[in-house]
Structure 1
Amino acid sequence: MELADRAVGLLLTLTSLSIFTYYTFWVIILASSDHFVHKYFLPQEYAILIPVYAAMALICFLSVFVGYVMLKSKKKKA
């Protein structure tokens, strides 16, 4: 099981690094809108919208998860 956990950890690390690199390149390096590589990236408005929606989804998921765990532990005590 330890090998599977390491593989999942490696996959998550590589995914996070690739997303971080893409986002950094997209937002910081391509500041000028007349660069030829802009046709390979989304419009820069999404540079703010995507992280905000992802953060909102994460907060909602964590809230539901904590609520579910609290309800489940309350039923075990009764």
Structure 2
Amino acid sequence: MATISDRLVGMAVMFVAVMVMCYYSAWVIVLPFVDEDNLAQKFFLPWWWAVVLPTTLLLILIVFIGTFVGVVVLKNSRQAAKSHHD
């Protein structure tokens, strides 16, 4: 069973994820149809960041996953080699 603190952390993470998705959706879908002199334009970064940020985050995620898999494979191979010597 999840504790109260686990539930609060989960709800906070979900809230942040929903807010980021709403912001990004408005930035990418709605903002191109809003005039450049509109006040709403001041709340968003320039359009090219809409491509650069997700691409950078995806590359970081791929490197993290690759590193994690590599560490696990090396650790398992070392344990297998050690158990074969015994």
Q: Which has the larger radius of gyration?
A: 2
Q: Counterpart amino acid of 1:2?
A: A
Identity %: 33
Name structure 2 gaps, 5 residues minimum: none
The structure whose RCO (Cα within 8 Å, separation 6+) is larger is 1
- What is the CA–CA distance in structure 2 between the aligned matches of 1:13 and 1:24, rounded to whole Å? 16
Name the counterpart of 2:14: 13
Name structure 1 gaps, 5 residues minimum: none
| SS of residue in 2 equivalent to 1:2 | coil
Displacement of 1:33 in angstroms is 4.3
Question: Number of matched residues?
Answer: 78
Change (3 A) 1:33 1:55: farther
TM score, norm. by length of structure 2: 0.78
TM score, norm. by length of structure 1: 0.85
The one of 59, 62, 67 equivalent to 1:59 is: 62
Runs of 4+ in 1 over 6 A off after TM superposition: none
- What is the CA–CA distance in structure 2 between the aligned matches of 1:29 and 1:43, rounded to whole Å? 14
